[in-house]
Amino acid sequence: MSNTRIERDSMGELHVPEQALYGAQTQRAVDNFPISHQRMPAQFIRALILAKAAAAKANVELKQLSESQGKAIVDAAQGLLEGDYMQHFPVDIFQTGSGTSSNMNANEVIATLASRLLGEPVNPNDHVNCGQSSNDIIPTTIHVSAALGLHEQLWPALVHLVQVIERKAVQVHPFIKTGRTHLMDAMPVRMSQVLEGWAQQLKANIGHLQDLLPSLQSLAQGGTAVGTGINAHPQFAAGFSRQLSNLTQVQFTPGKNLFALIGSQDTAVAVSGQLKAIAVTLMKIANDLRWMNSGPLAGLGEIELEGLQPGSSIMPGKVNPVIPEATAMVAAQVIGNDTTITVAGQSGNFELNVMLPIIAQNLLSSIELLANSSRLLADKAIASFKVNEPKLKEALSRNPILVTALNPIIGYQKAAEIAKTAYKQGRPVIDVALEHTDLSRSQLEILLDPEKLTAGGV
């Protein structure tokens, strides 16, 4: 076989691409799992490489590796991160449930580069994997990659979305629209009140996600194969967390119970559940925007979203709410990701969860999708929509539900009769109320003033 070399592992010899940095175990995984042709997420691989560097630093401190070996491993890891490292990580998402194939992929690639730097062999298992097992490094990497994704991607995006919504709320505060419950006309609300509700939903979600941080930044590293810490130095877990914190500028700590962190993925399930809650919030915001933008003639037409592209290949002039639609699809995907993580989280069989790769894939996918769609929703939908004030005033003037304000004066039954008559005759409620009550027009104008009917008034 041309353009290959022979590599050996505990199962024998194997042909590996000549220029590949990885070795036999990675090649076996490539051969064994041609399933999705999707690699593990780049965020996960980045976190795994960082974890290998942190482990080497800790092992040098603890005299488990020589300084030269440790430095070569750290330099190899840093060199990978500075280049196109994903080309060296071909293992499919659907692989061994412990993620051993991805762990050995990293061990082999880093060992090859470290050996070149050092000028003598660096072993994937004995040196790069020193004090580790796939069973603790992969759960650790799930936590680390998710924590970095939250800090670097999702939180900044959600904060940006909240800020854009709050700025827009100030701009649209003067506008009053017909409120809707059950998609039916209800009492009036200010446009600003609608947006402030969205912002508060997002703030609550951010807070709930922050509450999960201590658990997410608590790591399984040091538990090795089953949680007992076999073959790891007693101080390795503490040293690893300290070194990783220095490398990432995120505070990581050793887990209080390593058996729990290796045998279960409860924290990942909890984080995914909160990501699902964010998806539900984004779905609500996206659908509100779609409904308010509907029309422009036969729908509500209360706002006009920024036109971003032609909306039809056959209907000229049609423009669709593409950003809210894309956001709604993201929300659906994240909800589906959460279902997968929930099922995978149940696969903690005795001392090890055996669906770790798919948990990593779906968790990081949800974080990235929510981050990217939040920014688009902020910048290309909410920040730029225009309010159709004439349409708002037209609907308000014909809204019989305003008669609710007369309940304390004329009673619910009488108010209901006025509302039904106004609906049936298509007349403004104030005109019908004038005919069916003893109240003067000036009194009715005050009582039925939409501006005074919104909480907080002017």
DSSP state for residue 217 in the 8-state scheme:
T
Verify cis geometry, omega within 30 degrees of 0, for the bond prior to 296: yes
Q: How far, in Å, CA of 364 to CA of 40, rounded?
A: 10
Which of 182, 192, 245, 440 is flagged as catalytic? 182
Show Cβ contacts of residue 1 under 8 Å, excluding neighbours closer than 6 positions. 15
Nearest to 28 by CA among 52, 49, 8: 8
Q: Which residues pair with 8 in a beta bridge?
A: 13
Total Cβ atoms within 10 A of residue 183: 8
Q: How far apart are CA 269 and CA 117, in angstroms?
A: 40
Is 182 a residue of the active site? yes
For the chain, the 3-state helix, strand and coil shares in percent, each to the nearest 5, are 60, 10, 30
**CB contact at 8 A, 198 and 287:** no
The token duo for 265 is 């993925």
Counts for the chain of helices (H) and strands (E), in that order: 19, 10
CA 451 to chain CA centroid, Å, is: 38
Is 145 annotated as catalytic?
no
What's the rounded Cα separation, in Å, for the pair 95 and 338? 20
Spatial contact of 419 and 403, defined as CB atoms under 8 Å apart: yes
What is the C-alpha separation between 430 and 408, in angstroms, rounded?
16
- Per-position DSSP letters for 301-351, written without gaps between them: -SEEPPP-S---SSSTT----HHHHHHHHHHHHHHHHHHHHHHHHT-EETT
Q: Which residues are catalytic?
A: 182, 312
